[in-house]
């Protein structure tokens, strides 16, 4: 019987992987004469092979059609963003008219808060997690100040109550109940970026909305990583980026979700002409009439060159058969990594991320025995030999085997190299 933690078993798992051919859809960075072991899709996904052709197609259309490219087939720019709508909706578990690709994550977060953070003297507060990704904290603090309130009293941060910075659902519930009458908005991550902890989004929606608050999510580390059911969750809104697990390139156009019950909302919003109804947009009238659904939050015409690589990546997701197939492989891949770490290098690496697969995506956040200095030594060693993860202060190495392009043998080799470093 094959040792389930052996090199032979890793090779067998790769041979039996129904998604193994998808690796060929991506360009793998080189290290010396070979390829990197790339575990940094949580920060920047790899380039789809189809991205170059999609961008070139757009450049050629610009060269040949100029302004008429907005209207001429194939792929007229006027409706280009609609090509990503349905595949995105499938990935995030939404109705097509509930999603839109536009702007960048922080811009979308501010646009959503214009509509869904409507503080009053009685309800001025926003609830987030302590240690939130800086852009979220900066955004909510600036929104609170913009409305004339004080973050010292109206920015509520839920402190971790578990080991290694983890936050229990009970801690979130206690905070929502304690501050409920003052809460205007609950803004929570789908996955905490530093620890890799996955949260129960529908439960957070129920808790927040039961207290009269709006509930929105930052899904930067969730989209393309774990299955989502945004429509069924009844979240008011969500925002995310596409340059991580959606592989749309550095600084890629981002995404947003607005639940269909707000499709024709009278809530205030910042308006731009591309959010106006298409039927009357080019009449150039002075009155803004928003397109129903998430499209109505658009400001400017879509960045076609930025949408092109996203479209190429979404085509790979379609080939994978959707998030269910990717999630099945991801659980096995990260589970294999966890088992190897615990069995062979558990005295060196402490796993911060929850062991329960339902509470994590593909990422494992790791601390190195001996503290921060020793952790940096290992991280620098791995980078020097072409094993790419990332470092998050104060002392976490993030390793994220992405099911679209990582193999079981990649994971095995990572553990082998940590063992080699131990012996140096």
pLDDT tens readout for residues 218-230? 999 999 999 999 9
Mean of pLDDT values over 353-380: 97
- Domain tally, the chain: 2
Residue 326 and residue 270 in one domain: no
Q: Are 126 and 143 in contact (CB under 8 A)?
A: yes
Residue 1 falls inside a structural domain = no
Q: Rg of the chain over CA atoms, in angstroms?
A: 22
Residue 107 and residue 231 in one domain: yes
End position of a domain, from candidates 275, 302, 318: 318
Residue 327 and residue 314 in one domain: no
Residue 66 and residue 44 in one domain: no
pLDDT tens readout for residues 12-37? 999 999 999 999 999 999 999 999 99
Burial of 324 (0-12, 13-18, 19+ CB in 10 A): exposed
Residue 43 and residue 121 in one domain: no
Cis before 411 (ω within 30): no
Q: What confidence tier does 1 reach under pLDDT thresholds 50, 70, 90? A: low
Q: What is the pLDDT of residue 186?
A: 98
Across 42-81, b (16+ Cβ under 10 Å) vs e yields bbbbbbbebbeebbeebeebeeeeeeebeeeeebebbebb
Residue 242 and residue 367 in one domain: no
Residue span of the structural domain in which 132 resides? 54-318
Residue 94 falls inside a structural domain = yes
Q: Output the pTM of the full model.
A: 0.97
> Phi, psi at residue 273, to the nearest 5°?
-70, -25
Residue 410 and residue 278 in one domain: no
Residue 385 and residue 367 in one domain: yes
Half-sphere exposure of 5 (CA within 13 A, CB side): 12
pLDDT tens readout for residues 119-155? 999 999 999 999 999 999 999 999 999 999 999 999 9
Q: Looking at per-residue confidence, does 309 or 265 come out higher? A: 309
Please state, in angstroms and rounded to a whole number, the distance separating the CA atoms of residues 169 and 156. Answer: 16
End position of a domain, from candidates 287, 302, 318: 318
CATH number assigned to the domain comprising residue 395? 3.90.1150.10
């Amino acid at each position: 019987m094959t040792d389930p933690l052996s090199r032979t078993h890793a090779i067998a798992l790769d041979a039996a992987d129904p998604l193994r051919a998808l690796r060929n859809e991506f360009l793998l960075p080189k290290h010396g004469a070979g390829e990197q072991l790339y575990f940094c899709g949580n920060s920047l996904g790899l380039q789809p092979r189809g991205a170059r052709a999609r961008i070139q197609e757009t450049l050629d259309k610009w060269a040949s059609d100029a302004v008429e490219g907005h209207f001429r087939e194939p792929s007229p720019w006027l409706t280009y963003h609609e090509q990503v709508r349905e595949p995105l909706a499938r990935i995030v578990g939404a109705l097509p008219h509930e999603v839109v690709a536009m702007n960048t994550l922080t811009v979308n977060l501010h646009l959503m808060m214009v509509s869904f953070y409507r503080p009053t003297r009685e309800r001025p507060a926003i609830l987030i997690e302590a240690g939130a990704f800086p852009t979220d904290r900066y955004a909510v603090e600036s929104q609170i100040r913009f409305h004339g309130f004080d973050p010292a009293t109206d920015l509520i941060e839920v402190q971790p109550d578990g080991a290694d910075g983890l936050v229990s659902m009970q801690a979130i519930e206690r905070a929502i109940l304690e501050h409920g009458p003052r809460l205007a908005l609950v803004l929570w991550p789908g996955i905490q970026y530093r620890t890799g902890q996955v949260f129960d989004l529908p439960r957070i929606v129920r808790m927040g909305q039961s207290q009269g608050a709006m509930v929105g999510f930052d899904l930067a580390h969730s989209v393309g990583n774990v299955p989502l059911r945004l429509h069924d969750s009844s979240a008011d809104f969500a925002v995310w980026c596409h340059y991580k697990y959606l592989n749309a390139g550095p600084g890629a156009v981002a995404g947003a979700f607005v639940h269909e019950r707000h499709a024709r909302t009278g809530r205030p919003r910042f308006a731009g002409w591309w959010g106006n109804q298409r039927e009357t947009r080019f009449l150039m009238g002075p009155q803004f009439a928003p397109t129903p659904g998430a499209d109505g939050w658009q400001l400017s015409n879509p960045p076609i060159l930025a949408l092109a690589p996203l479209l190429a990546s979404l085509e790979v997701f379609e080939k994978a058969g959707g998030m269910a197939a990717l999630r099945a492989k991801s659980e096995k891949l990260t589970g294999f990594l966890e088992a190897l770490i615990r069995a062979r290098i558990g005295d060196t690496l402490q796993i911060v991320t929850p062991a329960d697969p339902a509470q994590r995506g593909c990422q494992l956040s790791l601390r190195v025995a001996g503290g921060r200095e020793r952790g940096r030594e290992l991280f620098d060693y791995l980078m020097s030999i072409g094993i790419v993860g990332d470092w998050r202060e104060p002392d976490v190495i993030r390793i994220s085997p992405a099911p679209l392009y990582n193999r079981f043998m990649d994971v095995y080799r990572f553990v082998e190299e940590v063992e080699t470093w131990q012996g140096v």
